[in-house]
Structure formats: C-alpha cells, structure tokens
Chain A
C-alpha cells in the first residue's frame, strides 16, 4: 500500500534521513517513535512532499514518485493520496470548522457543495463537534481544533492519514479527547502513520512500532513485542527514559 525506499534527506550538510525503507499495509496503524532530532517528523513530511527528499522512491497506492526529479503533477497526485494532521493544527484560520472540513472536498475533489456539507457535518459530529460547525479556529480550544483537523483529514478519504505529533502542542487536560478520536478511527481500519511521544498511546493504538534515531530506523516490530522486549540497546535506553515502569515491563 505504502512503500518508502531509500529515502534520503539533508538540510545543508546535515543528513537527517539516511536511507529509510518503510512499508505499511492497508489498515495498519504504524507509530514512529524516537528522540527529538531523530528525523521522524521529517520522514512523515516527506511522505506527502511537504519536505522534499533528496533521493529515494515513494509509493502510495498506485501513485509512485521517484524523488530524484518529480514533476509538479506527480507531487500533486501523491498529495491527493494522503492527508495530514499537524502538530500545530493549521486549520484555515479564515474558515469555520465546517468550511475547513468542506474545503478539500469542494475545491480539490469537486464534490457538490450540498453533499460535501452533509459529509462534513457527519464527520464533525463523529469527532464530537456537531455543535461547533460555525466556530472559527480562534474560538476553539486546542483539542477542539485538532479534532477539526482530524475531521478535515478524514473527509478527504485518503489512503493514509499522517499524524505529526498530534497532541504535542496541547495542554495536558486536552490530550485525552484527541487521543480518543484517533483511537476511534484507528478501529475503523483507516491506515495511519503516527509520529508521537505518547508511549502508552502508541502501545495501545499502533499495530506496529518503528523506532528511529539519528536518521535511521533502528528497530521495528509489533507493538506488543516492541515494548515488552526491545532488541536494540538504543531502543532500551530510549524507552527507559520515556516511559513509566507500568508501560515498560521487561
């Protein structure tokens, strides 16, 4: 379904991604973990070309892009296959919650307005914001904004939803409501790649964990295996620092 081959990316002289390979099957929920600066967010942003990889190949569904010299058209098609939920939400500030969700449907996918509206209302109800349709982002809490962001991503009906640290910018008491929504859609079999610092959440919701450090994949495996018996020393160190004992049970 999704295949990344030999993805490399440098910022100036600093190589942030050192040839990453990753495959994700349909319906899988993959969590990417790793210390900050490990390249996990950059990798995620490469998948929909918000970050331009130096080289490698990206395939989502039937769209394949050679990162050497992709055409604008290829990039555009690739982006059409994914949706993204941002750390800072990035809702369209001048549009209401409902308009935010409708925008992609109407402008990009040419869905008739009435149909788009209906689908958007349903999605906003699903994330618990049926009462906030006409609120602007500035009138919503962080948690509410992020849930609109998730509804906006769901509306596009993408092959995969990319989550870039979806709860990192939230006040602690608002994290729960966003995680609950992600958990809910994970159960519906939507393919997701999540970059996160929430260890307990990753363990619960992800089917597979990818651990990155210093621009490379150090270890990957089933979520249950990964937390119970990490194979690599670097993974163990990371987990020891990140997780309370209850999660980290050797």
Chain B
C-alpha cells in the first residue's frame, strides 16, 4: 500500500459537501445546550426548589455517561415515548416520521447542555458579588442586574470554556454516523468504500476538522478582544 496524495485531494473535495450537516449538528447542539446550560446553572446557583435537584441530577448523569450512550438512548428511547404519547392523544403521528438527524439534535443538545451548565456556572461565579450589590444599590431589579451587569461579565469570563465546548461538540458530531447521519467523518468512510483508501480519506476529514477548529479559535479570539476589552487583568 502506498499513500495516494491525489486521492486525499479528491476526498477533500467530496467531503466539503458534508460540512453543512456537521455545522448544523454542532450549531443546534451548542445553541440548545447553551440555553439548557443557562437555565440549569441559574437553577443551581439560585437554589430554585425542585428545578435545582433536577438540574443537578441531569448534569451528573449526562457528564457521567458517554456521548454515544446519550445518542443511543435517545435513538431507541425517544421513539417509544413519541409513539406512546401519539397513541394516547389519538394522533396519527409516528416516530418513523422523525428524521434521524432529529435524534442527533436532541441527544447532543442534552450532552452539550450538561457540560455548558458547568461552564455557565463558573462564569457566573466568577463575577464578584459586589457587582450585583452595586446594581441593587443603583436601584435595579434582579433581572436588570443579571442582564445588564452579571451576564456580560460572566460571558466574558466563560468565553474560553464556551469555545472549548463548541470545539468539543464539533468533533463529537462525528458520532451522528451511528444514527445514519452523513456528516464529515461518515462521508469519509463512504468516499473510501469504493477503493479502500480509508487513510487518505480520513486525512482529508482531519484536515477539514482542523480547518473548522482554527476558524472557531480565530473567531473566539476576536470576540474575546471585544467582550473582555475592559479587563486587562491576568498574569501575562
């Protein structure tokens, strides 16, 4: 076996078509995960009864089990729930009508939510208590204080970790292949299945993931410059 550089390029071009699917899965899971993360983090910090216990259990369970397991459980569990619900309500809707990528969206959103809950929580805890006291002293309501004073600072300090989560979910989206979703890595396998040049094909996939990751890193750096402009702290 000899490396076939020309096929790396050929595979690379073919894999480009799968980028939107990968980005969609990543964007949906990180977007929904961020919302879940904010809600569960606030529930835990503000010790909201019931919601707090549910949030804690959710975070420890999801972080305590592999991402692939989440996908499998959603893939096999959700249809049962959907069909039972649909039957109970007398609807004609069946779980077969749900596209497979939908299960990936749900499963990975749950995965991302648990990790991002911790990211959001650490961001919120990094904001000095005096900031919210000052906001209260100025006459703000709790919501105004959170929105105007706490969230912007929490976001700035959580940004490096948020970027980490985003990259993690980008790479994790490859697991969607298990749900027959053709994202970049799955496409690489398919592309090579005719000529068995898997190595070349996976190199092409790696290059694409690397490229996407570099874009995320650059964007984060730009954003960081903008939102953390007020703070020239740190040890450097």
Which A residues contact B (CB, under 8 angstroms)?
48-50, 76, 79-80, 82-84, 86, 88, 90-95, 103-104, 107-109, 136-139, 152, 156
Interface centre among A84, A91, A94 (most CB of B within 10 A): A94
Q: Which residues of A contact B22 (CB under 8 A)?
A: none
Q: Does B230 contact A (CB under 8 A)?
A: yes
Q: Contact check, A86 vs B130: say whether CB atoms are below 8 A apart.
A: yes
Chain B: minimal CB distance from A58 (Å) = 15
Report Cα–Cα, A190/B78, bound state, in Å.
Answer: 65
**Total A-B contacts with CB atoms under 8 angstroms apart:** 70
Q: Which residues of A contact B140 (CB under 8 A)?
A: 104, 107-108
Known: A107-B144, A138-B233. A156 touches B139 (CB 8 A): yes
Chain A residue at minimal CB-CB distance from B134: A90
Q: Does B62 contact A (CB under 8 A)?
A: no
**Which one of B25-33, B148-156, B198-206 contacts A?**
B148-156
Closest 7 CB pairs of A and B: A90-B130, A104-B138, A90-B134, A84-B137, A108-B139, A136-B230, A80-B139
Q: Does B4 contact A (CB under 8 A)?
A: no
Q: Which residues of B contact A94 (CB under 8 A)?
A: 149, 152-153, 156, 230-231
Q: Contact check, B138 vs A156: say whether CB atoms are below 8 A apart.
A: yes
Q: Contact check, A92 vs B144: say whether CB atoms are below 8 A apart.
A: no
Interface centre among B135, B141, B230, B231 (most CB of A within 10 A): B230
Chain B: minimal CB distance from A5 (Å) = 22
Chain A: minimal CB distance from B146 (Å) = 12
4 further A-B pairs in the complex, CB-CB below 8 A; given A86-B133, A138-B230:
A79-B136, A91-B134, A93-B128, A108-B139
Q: Which residues of B contact A103 (CB under 8 A)?
A: 138, 148
Q: Contact check, B138 vs A90: say whether CB atoms are below 8 A apart.
A: no
Q: Does B69 contact A (CB under 8 A)?
A: no
Known: A95-B230, A103-B148, A138-B231. A90 touches B139 (CB 8 A): no
- Scoring B residues 217 to 233 as 1 if CB is less than 8 Å from chain A, else 0, what string do you get? 00000000000011111
Q: Does B131 contact A (CB under 8 A)?
A: yes
Q: Contact check, B141 vs A76: say whether CB atoms are below 8 A apart.
A: yes
Q: Which residues of B contact A107 (CB under 8 A)?
A: 138, 140, 144, 148
Known: A90-B130, A90-B131, A94-B153. A76 touches B230 (CB 8 A): no
Q: Contact check, B141 vs A48: say whether CB atoms are below 8 A apart.
A: no
Q: Which residues of B contact A76 (CB under 8 A)?
A: 139, 141
Q: Contact check, A90 vs B231: say whether CB atoms are below 8 A apart.
A: no
Report Cα–Cα, A61/B12, bound state, in Å.
Answer: 73
Contact of A48 among B130, B137, B233 (CB under 8 A): B137
Chain B residue at minimal CB-CB distance from A109: B139
Chain A: minimal CB distance from B127 (Å) = 9
Chain B: minimal CB distance from A100 (Å) = 9
Interface centre among B138, B149, B229, B233 (most CB of A within 10 A): B138
Chain B: minimal CB distance from A47 (Å) = 10
Known: A88-B130, A92-B131, A93-B230. A79 touches B153 (CB 8 A): no
- Scoring B residues 110 to 148 as 1 if CB is less than 8 Å from chain A, else 0, what string do you get? 000000000000000000101101111111110010001
Q: Which residues of B contact A93 (CB under 8 A)?
A: 128, 131, 153, 230-231
